[in-house]
Amino acid sequence: MFTVPRPALKFAARCFFGAWRLALGAFFALSAHAVETKTRNVLLVTLDGLRWQEVYRGAEEALMTIDKVAGGGVPSGSMTALRADFLAATPEERRQKLMPFFWGTLVPRGQAFGNRDLGSPARVLNAESVSYPGYNELLTGAPDPLIINNTPLPNRNVTVLEWLNGRPAFRGRVGAAAAWNVFVPIINVGRSRLPVFVTQQQSARGSVSPRIAEIEQWMADIPPISPSENFDAFVYHATVDLFDTLKPRVFLLALGEPDEWAHARRYDRYLYSIQRCDRFIRQLWEKLQALPQYRDTTTIVLSPDHGRGITPEDWTSHGKKVPHSEQTWFAAFGPDTPARGERRGTAEVHQAQVAATVAALLGEDYREAFPQAAPPVGDVLPAH
């Protein structure tokens, strides 16, 4: 019998496994190349407390109630203009009046989930349906059972913003601007060291740009909506400046007026604030498209932090005791997202999926570092 010497067997085995490793490496390299994204930048926009009902159906006439001394409402003198500005014969016409850029540009060229009328549900996973638990879930990929209210304690969880800022390609290129100053503990600025503009901040002289210093002075001179929140216009203009100075690759724009005016039972101001948010997003998108660094390489991801009630009595509120507060919506638009428009008959999308989706759009795997995080929304990513 012919036998192969043992050293020769060892050599052959080494050659076989070496070739196998090279082939496997080439396969994964090709796979990685096949799913490489065109997105180089992500703008994450959150709209506090914006119901899916307004996003997909437009203004609701039943909520245009006349001002009452005890309960708030629409001033009687404003009703005619309000109806003209927002009412129309069909939901499609009404939503176009409310959010013309969202429906005219973003959705036709991207994807929008959350229209329950079309069998496309979206919801939060946290049990509270209030802001801090919602933003934690959205930014970290999982609800935290210890975060049960809006108490401004530093977040023990690492957000996708902080994690991306720790990656070499994004270090120093991640930032945020928020109408609600509780984003300072949500993002845990003390640990993450991320640049974050928030309501009522007063920066040390010379530590911010002249434009941010001017905006801070305006905030000090104009009474805020509440002690923790100011008008979205300040946040928008601060965002424009931060894109000029920081040139971020990842940025969170957290708008807040819709929630504030809903709590105040001012459906008129709620609607006009949504319309302004849509305009701010359009203006920022146009700015980015005019800059070579961002043109055709930027994806916008949009989400609220929670839903609201649905009746004339409880639409102003949200929380685990208010039915339907867990219902939300989600949208994405960019060079990698297939243009499927308004989705129907889809699996339920969860707010916890936003974090991994933002990372995946940039070619990063957030769940590898945080396995407890929900998976990305695969439909808005390039095909594997």
Q: Read out DSSP for 261-329? A: HHHTT-HHHHHHHHHHHHHHHHHHHHHHHTSTTTTTTEEEEEE-S-----STTTTT--STTSTTTTB--
The whole-model pTM stands at 0.90
What band does 27 get if pLDDT is binned at 50, 70 and 90? very low
Q: Does pLDDT of 97 surpass 80?
A: yes
Which of 34-48, 255-269, 294-308, 338-352 is predicted with the least confidence, judged by mean pLDDT? 34-48
Q: Which CATH number fits domain 41-380: 3.40.50.970, 3.40.190.150, 3.40.250.10, 3.40.720.10?
A: 3.40.720.10
For 129-141, the pLDDT digits (tens) are 999 999 999 999 9
Side chain identity, residue 295: R
Residues 6+ apart with CB under 8 A from 133: 124, 126, 127, 143, 144, 147, 148, 149
Residues 6+ apart with CB under 8 A from 35: 363, 381, 382, 384
Instruction: Please tell me the predicted confidence (pLDDT) of residue 67.
Output: 81
Instruction: Please tell me the predicted confidence (pLDDT) of residue 9.
Output: 38
Domain boundaries, the chain: 1-33, 41-380
Residue of 177, 232, 230, 229 whose CA lies nearest to 208: 177
Q: Read out DSSP for 338-363? A: ---EE--S-PPEETTHHHHHHHHHTT
Mean of pLDDT values over 61-68: 88
Vertex 56: Cα angle to 232 and 111 (nearest 5):
85
Residues 6+ apart with CB under 8 A from 11: none
CA distance 189 to 237: 21
Q: Does pLDDT of 269 surpass 90?
A: yes
